[in-house]
Amino acid sequence: MTALEIGIASFPALMVLIFLRVPIGLAMFLVGLVGLVWVTGGTQVAFARLKNETYTTFSSYSLTIVPMFLLMGHFATLGGMSNALFKAAEGWLGHRRGGVAMAAIGACAGFGAICGSSLATAATMGRVALPELKQYGYAGGFSTATLAAGGTLGILIPPSVVLVIYAILTEQNIAKLFLAAFIPGILAAVGYVIAISLYVRLYPDSAGTRPPVPYSQRFAALVRVWPVLLVFGLVVGGIYLGWFTPTEGAAVGAFGTAVIAYFNGGLTRASLVDSFIVTARSTAMIFFIILGAGFYNGFLALTQVPQELSNFVVSQGFSPWVVLALILCFYLVFGCLMDSLSMILLTIPIFFPVISAMDFNLISLPAMQAEAAMEVLKNGIPDGMGAEMLASIQEAIATGTELTREQMKELGIRVTQGMANRIEAEHVAIWFGILVLIVVEVGLITPPVGMNLFIINAMDRKTPMMETYKAVIFFVGSDIVRVIILVAFPAITLFLLPG
Instruction: Tell me the DSSP string of 267-288.
Output: --HHHHHHHHHHHHHHHHHHHH
For 371-389, the pLDDT digits (tens) are 888 888 888 888 778 888 8
Whether residues 18 and 124 fall in one domain: no
* DSSP symbol at 357: T
The Cα–Cα gap between 322 and 329 comes to 11
Whether residues 69 and 52 fall in one domain: no
Q: Is the peptide bond before 353 cis (omega within 30 degrees of 0)?
A: no
Chain Cα centroid distance, residue 39: 35
Whether residues 174 and 225 fall in one domain: yes
Whether residues 71 and 213 fall in one domain: yes
The Cα–Cα gap between 410 and 404 comes to 10
The Cα–Cα gap between 340 and 376 comes to 45
Query: Considering the domain boundaries, does residue 113 fall inside one?
Result: yes
Supply the pTM of this predicted model: 0.86
Q: What is the mean pLDDT of residues 10-22?
A: 85
In 3D, which of 314, 335, 372 has the Cα closest to residue 479?
Answer: 335
In this model, does residue 449 exceed pLDDT 70? no
Q: pLDDT confidence of 499, banded at 50, 70, 90?
A: low
Choose the weakest-confidence range: 13-27, 350-364, 440-454.
440-454
The Cα–Cα gap between 230 and 441 comes to 27
Number of domains in the chain: 3
What was the pLDDT predicted at 476? 92
Query: Considering the domain boundaries, does residue 226 fall inside one?
Result: yes
The Cα–Cα gap between 102 and 450 comes to 21
In 3D, which of 141, 143, 102 has the Cα closest to residue 126?
Answer: 143
Phi and psi at residue 109, in whole multiples of 5°? -65, -45
For 42-74, the pLDDT digits (tens) are 888 888 888 888 888 788 777 888 888 888 888
For 116-143, the pLDDT digits (tens) are 777 778 888 888 888 888 888 899 899 9
In 3D, which of 29, 37, 31 has the Cα closest to residue 12?
Answer: 31
Query: Considering the domain boundaries, does residue 396 fall inside one?
Result: yes
Whether residues 106 and 211 fall in one domain: yes
Q: pLDDT confidence of 295, banded at 50, 70, 90?
A: confident
Percentage of the chain with pLDDT > 70?
Answer: 99
Q: pLDDT confidence of 358, banded at 50, 70, 90?
A: confident
Residue 388 belongs to what domain range?
Answer: 365-414
Whether residues 248 and 103 fall in one domain: yes
Whether residues 253 and 108 fall in one domain: yes
Whether residues 54 and 67 fall in one domain: no
Angle subtended at Cα 476 by Cα 172 and Cα 152, rounded to the nearest 5 degrees? 45
For 253-267, the pLDDT digits (tens) are 899 999 989 988 888
Are 186 and 78 in contact by the 8 Å Cβ rule? The answer is: no
Query: Considering the domain boundaries, does residue 80 fall inside one?
Result: yes
* DSSP symbol at 377: H
In this model, does residue 396 exceed pLDDT 70? yes
Whether residues 82 and 164 fall in one domain: yes
Whether residues 147 and 120 fall in one domain: yes
Q: pLDDT confidence of 432, banded at 50, 70, 90?
A: very high
In this model, does residue 234 exceed pLDDT 90? no
Query: Considering the domain boundaries, does residue 242 fall inside one?
Result: yes
Query: Considering the domain boundaries, does residue 40 fall inside one?
Result: yes
Are 66 and 161 in contact by the 8 Å Cβ rule? The answer is: yes
- What average pLDDT does the structure give for the chain? 86
Whether residues 238 and 115 fall in one domain: yes
The Cα–Cα gap between 369 and 7 comes to 44
Query: Considering the domain boundaries, does residue 343 fall inside one?
Result: no
Percentage of the chain with pLDDT > 90?
Answer: 18
> Which own/partner contact pairs does 329-336 have at CB distance under 8 Å and 24+ positions apart?
331/436, 331/439, 331/440, 331/443, 332/439, 332/442, 332/443, 332/446, 333/443, 334/443, 335/439, 335/440, 335/441, 335/442, 335/443, 335/444, 335/446, 336/443, 336/444, 336/446, 336/448, 336/449, 336/450, 336/451
Diameter over CA atoms, the chain? 80
Query: Considering the domain boundaries, does residue 244 fall inside one?
Result: yes
Phi and psi at residue 388, in whole multiples of 5°? -65, -45
The Cα–Cα gap between 436 and 304 comes to 23
Whether residues 144 and 238 fall in one domain: yes
Amino acid residing at 359: D
Around Cβ 271, how many Cβ atoms within 10 Å? 16
